Amino acid sequence: MTTRLVDAANLLPQCERESFREFSRGLFYPLPRADQRKWAEVYLAGLLTLQGRKSIRRMAEQYPGWSADRAAQSLQQFVNQSPWDWSHITRALADWVTSVSRPQAWVVDTAVIPKRGAHSVGVARRRIAGQSRPVNSQFALGGFIATRSDALPVEWQLVLEQDWTSDHERKARARIPPGSTPRPLWRNVLEACGGLGRPGIPLTLPVVTDLRCESGVDRLISALCERGHQFLIGATAPSRRGARPTAAGLSDPFSGPFEALDGFAEAPARILARQVADHGMRTRRRTRLLAHQVRLPGAGGGSTGVVYRQLDDGDGGEGLVRYWVTNNVHLGPNDVMALIGHLQRAKGCVRLLAEEFGMSDFEGRSFPGWHHHMALVSAAGVYSLTGAGFAARRASQDRMPAAVRTGQTSPAA
C-alpha cells in the first residue's frame, strides 16, 4: 500500500504556506514525476525549517506520516540517484528572480566548502586566500543575479582538479560527466556566465567578478569582449618600484596586462549608502579611486577600457596592487563602487547559504547529487529573500495590512 505524501508546506509557519506552495509550483514543474516534485518540496522545506545541520536523516524525521527510514531512503534516492536535470531547476529559479525583481548585474563568485576526508566529489587540498595552510575543501563558482538589494544564486559549477578527472575509476564512481577536464579559473568564470541572454536576463547586464591573484585576467577580458559582455573584473598585478608620480602626487602603481593610453587621474566618489550584505546595515563612507584609460587585450588590438584602483582598499598582498578593470568607459566612480557592492552582497549570500541553508551539509559523493543539493540550497536562499517576503509586500501593496500583521496567508506573486 502506498503511503500518501503529506503537503510539505505544512512544515512551515501558517503565514508562509501559500507563498511556499506558489514558489514550489513555479520552481519544480520541470521535474517529470509527481513524486520527484513532492520530495523536492520536502527537501526544500527541510532546508528552510531545520535548525543546525540539515542532513537527510533529520529532514526525514520531521516529515509526518512516514517512517524516518522510508522518508530518508526516498530523499536519498531523489537527491543522489535520481537522474533529473538540475539545470531545469536553476533556470526556473532564474525565471522566478527576474519575475520579482529587476536584474542589475551578473555576479560570479566563489564558494569554499570545507570537507573531511577525500571521498566527497571534487574535494582537494587548496590554498585559500586568508588561510595560512591548505584547506581540504570543495571549490565552486556561483552565478548570481544582482538586484538593488540582493545577490541571488541561480547556478553553480563544481571545480574539479586533475585527480578527479584523470582517475577513470574515481571519475565513474562519482558519476562525473565524460569529457570533464580541469580548467583554469578564468575559463570556469566564463562558463559561469552562460545564464546571460536567457529570457529576463539581458546580455547587456555587466559581469562582475574578482580573480584576485589568479592568472588569466587577459584571457577572460578577451573572451568577454568577444562575446559582447560588459564587465568589471577585480585582480592584482605586481607593483612598480620607482614609478613616476602623477599630477595628483600619486604613483602609477602597477604593471598589468594593459597598454596605457594616458596617466592616472584622481576620481573622487562619494558613497552615501553602501550596503553591508551579511548584516543588512547601511554605512556612509567616502572613498577615492584612481582612473587609468588603457588598451584591453584582445584580437585586433583590443578595445579601450578603464582601470580603477580603490585607494582605501589596501594592497592585494606583498608586492601586489589591487585593481578593477572595465570595458565600459562610461562608468563613473559611483557606478564602479555600486558594482563592487553587488560582489560583496554575493559574498554575503554565500555565507548565508553556508550558515542558514545547509550548503556544507551534503552527504553524498556524486557529481549530480552535489548539483541537485546546490540547486535546492539556492532555492532556499532565494525563497528566504524573495518568497514569503515578496508575498507580504504584495499583500501590503494590495492594501491588506491587517492580513500581513495577523500572519494570515496572503497570495503569492
CA–CA–CA angle 118, 357, 113 (5° rounding): 25
What tens digit of pLDDT does each residue of 57-83 get? 999 998 887 889 999 999 999 999 999
User: Binning pLDDT at 50, 70 and 90, where does residue 389 land?
Assistant: low
Residues 52, 110, single domain; the answer is no
Mean pLDDT of 256-277: 54
Residues 17, 104, single domain; the answer is no
User: Binning pLDDT at 50, 70 and 90, where does residue 199 land?
Assistant: confident
Q: Are 252 and 263 in contact (CB under 8 A)?
A: yes
The single residue listed with the C-alpha cell 571545480 is: 159
Residue 251 lies in a domain: yes
Here the CATH number for the domain that contains residue 171 is: 3.90.350
Helix (H) or strand (E) holding 71: helix 68-76
Residue 411 lies in a domain: no
Q: Which of 128, 121, 239, 237 is nearest to 185 (CA)?
A: 128
Domain count, the chain: 2
What's the pLDDT score for residue 239? Answer: 65
Residue 230 reports pLDDT greater than 90 = yes
Residue 410 reports pLDDT greater than 70 = no
Query: What cell numbers appear for 330 in the block?
Result: 562610461
Residue 23 lies in a domain: yes
Mean pLDDT of 121-142: 85
CA dist 289 and 264 (Å) reads 10
Residues 77, 90, single domain; the answer is no
Q: Where is average pLDDT lowest: 53-57, 209-213, 326-330, 334-338?
A: 209-213
CA dist 377 and 354 (Å) reads 9
Helix (H) or strand (E) holding 227: helix 217-227
Domain extent at residue 391:
8-84+366-406
Residue 2 lies in a domain: no
Residue 18 lies in a domain: yes
Q: Which of 383, 400, 403 is nearest to 100 (CA)?
A: 383
Residues 41, 123, single domain; the answer is no
Q: What is the DSSP letter of 77?
A: I
Residue 230 lies in a domain: yes
User: Binning pLDDT at 50, 70 and 90, where does residue 369 land?
Assistant: very high
User: Binning pLDDT at 50, 70 and 90, where does residue 411 land?
Assistant: very low
Give me the sign of the Cα torsion angle 382, 387, 388, 390. Answer: positive
Residues 93, 58, single domain; the answer is no
What tens digit of pLDDT does each residue of 314-326 get? 555 556 678 899 9
Residues 263, 371, single domain; the answer is no
Residue 20 reports pLDDT greater than 70 = yes
Residue 267 reports pLDDT greater than 70 = no
Mean pLDDT of 253-261: 64
Residues 34, 125, single domain; the answer is no
Q: Where is average pLDDT lowest: 50-64, 113-127, 397-411?
A: 397-411
Portion of the chain with pLDDT greater than 70, in percent: 77
Residues β-bridged to residue 152: 145
What's the pLDDT score for residue 198? Answer: 85
What's the pLDDT score for residue 292? Answer: 82
Residue 336 reports pLDDT greater than 80 = yes
CA dist 200 and 78 (Å) reads 30
Residue 2 reports pLDDT greater than 90 = no
What's the pLDDT score for residue 24? Answer: 94
Residue 118 lies in a domain: yes
| Angle of helix 367-382 versus helix 333-356 axis, rounded to 10 | 110
Cα distance from N-terminal residue to C-terminal residue, the chain: 37
Residue 274 reports pLDDT greater than 80 = no
Mean pLDDT of 190-215: 88
Q: Which of 120, 111, 186 is nearest to 141 (CA)?
A: 111
CA dist 201 and 95 (Å) reads 9
Residues 252, 352, single domain; the answer is yes
Residues 41, 62, single domain; the answer is yes
Q: Where is average pLDDT lowest: 176-180, 191-195, 372-376, 392-396?
A: 392-396
Q: What is the pTM of this model?
A: 0.85
Q: Are 79 and 367 in contact (CB under 8 A)?
A: no
Residues 41, 100, single domain; the answer is no
Residues 126, 162, single domain; the answer is yes
Mean pLDDT of 20-48: 94
Residue 247 reports pLDDT greater than 70 = no
CA dist 234 and 323 (Å) reads 6
Mean pLDDT of 27-35: 93
What's the pLDDT score for residue 241? Answer: 54
Mean pLDDT of the chain: 81
Residue 183 lies in a domain: yes
> DSSP 3-state assignment of 163?
helix
Q: Where is average pLDDT lowest: 18-27, 180-189, 242-251?
A: 242-251
Residues 170, 223, single domain; the answer is yes
